[in-house]
Amino acid sequence: MLNITDSIISNHDAYWYITITLLNQNISRYGMSIIWLIGNIGSMINCCIFCQPKFRKNPCVMYLLASSASQFLTFNFALLTRILYMGYNMQAVNTLLWYCKFRYYFFYIFVAIPRYYIILASIDRFFASCSDIYWRRWSSSKVAMRLIISNFLFWCLIYIHVLVFYEIQNNNCSFRNGVYAIFFSVYLSIESGILPPLIMFIFEFLTLKNIRNSKRRTRPLTIVNVSQTEQLTRLSRRDLHFSKMLLYQICLWIILNIPNPCYLLYQTITIYDTKSLLRLTIESFISNMSYFLIYIEFSLTFFVYILSSSLFRRELNQLIRKKLLRRFSTNITLTNNT
Instruction: Kindly give the residue spans of alpha helices, DSSP state H, lying in 97-190.
Output: 97-129, 133-136, 141-158, 162-165, 179-188
pLDDT of residue 224: 47
Residue 113, pLDDT score? 95
Q: What is the pLDDT of residues 16-37, one digit of tens each?
A: 999 999 999 999 999 999 999 9
Compute the mean pLDDT over every residue in the chain, rounded to the nearest whole number. Answer: 84
Q: What is the separation of C-alpha 91 from the centre of its chain, rounded to a whole number of angstroms?
A: 26
In-domain check, residue 16:
no
Report, as an integer, the average pLDDT of 223-249.
Answer: 62
The set of residues, in sequence order, having a beta carbon less than 8 Å from that of 41 and lying 6+ positions away, is: 302
Q: CATH number, domain at 102?
A: 1.20.1070.10
Confidence of residue 160 (pLDDT cuts 50, 70, 90): very high
pLDDT value, residue 129: 81
Provide mean pLDDT across the span 38-56.
90
Domain count, the chain: 1
Asked if 94 and 104 count as a contact pair (C-beta separation under 8 A), the reply is no
pLDDT band at 186; cut points 50, 70, 90: confident
Residues 6+ apart with CB under 8 A from 260: 188, 192, 193, 290, 291, 293, 294
So what's the pLDDT on residue 159?
95
Question: What is the CB neighbour count within 10 angstroms for residue 179?
Answer: 8
Model's pTM, two decimal places? 0.84
**Residue 5 domain-assigned?**
no
The answer to the question of residue 20 being in a domain is no
| Domain-located, residue 9 | no
Q: Which residues contact 336 (CB under 8 A, 6 or more apart)?
A: none
Contact between residue 294 and residue 31 where contact means Cβ atoms under 8 Å apart: no
Q: Are 43 and 69 spatial neighbours (Cβ–Cβ below 8 Å)?
A: yes
Q: Classify residue 17: in a domain, yes or no.
A: no
**Of 112-116, 219-223, 246-250, which one has max mean pLDDT?**
112-116
Domain limits at 252? 26-217+234-327
- The predicted pLDDT at position 230 comes to 46
Contact 200/118 with Cβ under 8 angstroms? Answer: yes
Query: Would 107 be classed as within a structural domain?
Result: yes
Residue 59 neighbours by CB under 8 Å, 6+ apart: 124, 128, 139, 140, 141, 143, 144
pLDDT at 205: 84
User: Which pLDDT score, from 0 to 100, does residue 52 have?
Assistant: 85
pLDDT of residue 239: 66
Whether residue 229 lies inside any domain: the answer is no
Domain assignment present for 74: yes
Which residues does 57 contact at the CB level (< 8 Å), separation at least 6? 141
